[in-house]
């Protein structure tokens, strides 16, 4: 663990020197935070029509009657709460984007900078090396997720109807943000690290990691259409599946990371 900690400190120091890598994650986080406010607050204000006046959104009022903590909400607050909660899954894209943009360069960037060879000649095991690189991408992405969530909840509490922000503090919402989000980010960055150990271009690793975005987008569509509800139980089941996938990806990454081949190819 001490060797992983030292290498993790190096990864974070490299990130501070190359902050442009984190720009895609910041852009994704900004869009994910602002889009629900545009839908729930700005569009009704421009149209001069309250959300509660739309018959298509009455399903949100009925849905929140099943939540004891939210039954006191009026129709407008209930619909706003429904919109903000459904779009919460977009914030999961923030750690995924952060993980991809950092992890894709974690191995390829060191190959190109000729700083990987000294590491490979040390007693570091392949697991220790990959674990440090995974954590070096995961921790900043997790910090960005927490920051975006705090801004999101504060914005809803200030701008939306009173009580609407409570929908973001239910077990289901918190499970999406702090269970599924980090695990999805972990999956994306492990895919990126696995691919970056075999390719010479960071874009290839980013494209593979981007595959994680597709299931997240699918979940959003299913929730908005009412075909699927991401409850706390469903989140827990998905989390178990992601844990198994991440364990398999770590084993795969160690198997794919050919130290001798990398040293010979990049001399």
> Residue range 192-212: average pLDDT?
63
Q: Is the pLDDT of residue 146 over 60?
A: yes
Tell which wins on pLDDT, 62 or 155: 155
Give pLDDT, residue 61: 64
Give pLDDT, residue 159: 92
> Residue range 100-126: average pLDDT?
67
> Residue range 144-169: average pLDDT?
90
Q: In the numeric block, which tokens belong to residue 267?
A: 């001399």
Tell which wins on pLDDT, 267 or 10: 10
pLDDT digits (tens, 9 = 90+) for 20-78: 777 777 888 888 899 999 988 998 888 887 877 766 666 666 666 666 666 777 878 88
Q: Is the pLDDT of residue 266 over 50?
A: no
Give pLDDT, residue 156: 94
Burial of 222 (0-12, 13-18, 19+ CB in 10 A): middle
Which of 32-36, 141-145, 154-158, 240-244 has the least mean pLDDT? Answer: 141-145
In the chain, where the domains are located: 2-265
Give pLDDT, residue 213: 64
* Residue-averaged pLDDT of the chain: 76
Neighbours of 75 (CB within 10 A): 17
pLDDT digits (tens, 9 = 90+) for 224-234: 666 667 777 88
> Residue 226: which region, alpha, beta or left (left: phi > 0; alpha: psi -120 to 50)?
left
Q: In the numeric block, which tokens belong to residue 152?
A: 């999101």
Give pLDDT, residue 267: 47
> Residue 163: which region, alpha, beta or left (left: phi > 0; alpha: psi -120 to 50)?
left
> Residue range 105-117: average pLDDT?
64
- 155 pLDDT band, cuts 50/70/90, is very high
């Amino acid at each position: 663990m001490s060797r992983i900690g030292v290498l993790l400190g190096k990864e974070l120091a490299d990130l501070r020197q190359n902050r442009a890598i984190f720009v895609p994650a910041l852009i994704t986080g900004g869009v994910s935070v602002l889009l629900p406010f545009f839908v729930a607050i700005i569009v009704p204000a421009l149209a001069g029509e309250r959300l509660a006046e739309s018959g298509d959104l009455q399903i949100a009022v009925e849905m929140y009657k099943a939540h004891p903590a939210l039954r006191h909400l009026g129709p407008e607050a209930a619909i706003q709460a429904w919109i903000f909660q459904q779009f919460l899954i977009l914030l999961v894209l923030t750690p995924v984007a952060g993980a991809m943009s950092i992890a894709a360069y974690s191995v390829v960037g060191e190959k190109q900078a000729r700083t990987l060879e000294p590491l490979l000649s040390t007693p570091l095991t392949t697991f220790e090396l990959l674990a440090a690189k995974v954590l070096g991408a995961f921790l900043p992405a997790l910090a960005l997720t927490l920051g975006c969530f705090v801004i999101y909840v504060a914005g809803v509490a200030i701008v939306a109807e009173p009580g609407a922000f409570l929908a973001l503090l239910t077990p289901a919402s918190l499970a999406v943000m702090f269970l599924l989000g980090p695990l999805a980010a972990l999956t994306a960055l492990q895919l990126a690290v696995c691919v970056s150990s075999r390719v010479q271009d960071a874009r290839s690793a980013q494209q593979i990691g981007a595959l994680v975005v597709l299931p997240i987008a699918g979940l959003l569509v299913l929730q908005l259409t009412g075909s699927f509800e991401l409850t706390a139980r469903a989140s827990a089941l998905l989390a178990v599946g992601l844990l198994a996938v991440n364990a398999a990806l770590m084993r795969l990454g160690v198997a794919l990371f050919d130290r001798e081949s990398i040293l010979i190819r990049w001399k």
